[in-house]
Amino acid sequence: LVRGHDTPSSFEVFVRTPDRDGLFAALVATLDRLGLNVLDARILNSTDGYALDNFQVQASGLVPEPTRIIETLQAALRDPAAVRPARRAMPRHLRHFRVPARVDLDAIDGGQRTRLSLVGTDRPGLLADVAQVLRSHRLRVHDARISTFGERVEDIFLLSDQNDRALTDPQSIEDMRSALIAC
């Protein structure tokens, strides 16, 4: 579902679909390709195996029609593994605002999940790139809280490996941390 928001050129996007690996990455990459900046997101999993994802987005240029947003997301949901983020350079006006990147990981829920806290400088396509890093490390996103404050992002993800366990391998954790800081 897509509906206009109070602010011009902004929308609320709600997706309910069977949950599967790579879904979060496909959704945010598709929103990014539509020219929609994710300002806020809430990602949940239902007990019956569905993803319930809610995004607050704002168009960065030409404002797409809600029906185009829906059709494009539906197409992406047919094959989430085929969706890749777009590559872009950082806009000149954002290069002057640098928030030092910080990535923190800790086990929660009795060791069943890993909480990833990410703070850094916002840029177009950042969330899609972060989601792609998580996907490339074969991680499952069980919950996400995405917040943007001007040029600063503060995102929290609840993750697990493909066996629904918290991340434990120190080398894998360090590789992921390095990849996230690099993006």
Tell me the pLDDT tens digit for each residue of 5-47.
Answer: 888 899 999 999 999 888 999 999 999 999 998 888 888 888 9
Residues 6 or more apart whose CB falls under 8 angstroms from that of 69 comprise 2, 11, 13, 34, 36
Report the C-alpha dihedral over residues 159, 144, 79, 173, rounded to 10 degrees: -30
Structural contact between residues 52 and 44, judged by C-beta atoms closer than 8 angstroms: yes
Structural tokens at position 25: 């990455």
Name the strands in the sheet holding 152-160, side by side, starting at the edge strand that comes first in the sequence.
2-4, 10-18, 50-59, 36-45, 140-149, 152-160, 113-121, 102-108
* pLDDT value at residue 110: 77
pLDDT digits (tens, 9 = 90+) for 78-104: 988 788 776 655 555 445 556 788 999
CA distances from 153 to 38, 69, 72 (A): 11, 24, 26
